[in-house]
Amino acid sequence: MNSMLNVALTAARSAAKIILTGLDRIDSVRITEKSKNDFVTSVDKAAESEIVATLSDAYPDHLFLSEEQHNETKLNKKDKFWIIDPLDGTTNFIHRIPHFAISIAFYAGGDIECSLVYDPVKDELFTAVRGQGARCNQHRMRVTSCKEINKSLLVSGFPARSPELHHDYVLMMEKCLKSIAGFRRSGSAALDLAYVAAGRYDGYIDTDLKEWDVAAGSLLVRESGGYIRDFKGTNTTLPCHNIIAANPGLWPELQQLIINN
């Protein structure tokens, strides 16, 4: 495994111990609502601190962009950054739904160089190194080969933090439901992207995301042979505000379905 990924994995496993202990003692976990439908817990903060400390020890000159403590960091092409979501799926965690993940990506020179998404409950580790492919527990991943939208299984988030987006998003989902085989809504963008990369979902649609939601997962998708772009088809390193991820054969038809909503 890539040396930087090894350090990131050490950080993720240390954070996982904090998260799983918190899951067992959820009644004692402090929960705060940062904004409408946007929660943070004492476990998020402790896990993030553990990840940052581990990475800082190994790479003292690197910067951090993360959900809780370093969310005002501005990315640039000069410095080296770790982009971190210590607990992607906090609402699931609060409700004891065992579907959440740790997301860590290394960003330098305008690209995501390596990344991991770790599901501590299932002990599933999704990793990618730019130009070297992506793996799940060391098994090579590939996106699906489904090219027929009526046979596709998609996954989506929902812009719960932005009520002004609800109406248009519901209309888009309604239109999709008439054209596809099925929809899932899991509550973790990092795992949604990892599952697209692993060939478990044919595509992913979402909006109103942040860099830490998608940084690690975006490299997983690309290194598994998939596309991840915004609704207009723009191929940026970190598409956040609206996203379509799918295999190359399905992506154009899925985009047409979305933009013609």
The pLDDT of residue 37: 45
pLDDT score for 53: 97
Encode 179-195: b = buried (16+ Cβ within 10 Å), e = exposed.
ebeeeeebbbbbbbbbb
Decide the pairing of beta strands 63-66 and 80-88.
Answer: parallel
- For the entire predicted model, the pTM comes to 0.93
pLDDT computed for residue 39 by the predictor: 60
Residues 6 or more apart whose Cβ sits within 8 Å of residue 57:
none
Q: For residue 42, what are the CA distances in angstroms to 38, 109, 139, 261?
A: 14, 33, 34, 40
Distance CA 245, CA 189 (A): 11
Q: What are phi and psi of 79, to 5 degrees?
A: -95, 170
pLDDT given for residue 27 in this prediction: 77
The predicted pLDDT at position 8 comes to 98
| CA–CA distance, 46 with 43 (Å, rounded to integer) | 5
- Tell me the pLDDT of the chain (261 aa) as tens digits: 689 999 999 999 999 999 999 998 887 777 776 555 456 688 889 999 999 999 999 999 999 999 878 878 889 999 999 999 999 999 899 999 999 999 999 999 999 999 999 999 999 999 999 999 999 998 999 999 999 999 999 998 876 666 676 777 788 788 888 889 998 999 999 999 999 999 999 999 998 888 999 999 999 999 999 999 998 888 888 877 789 999 999 999 999 888 765
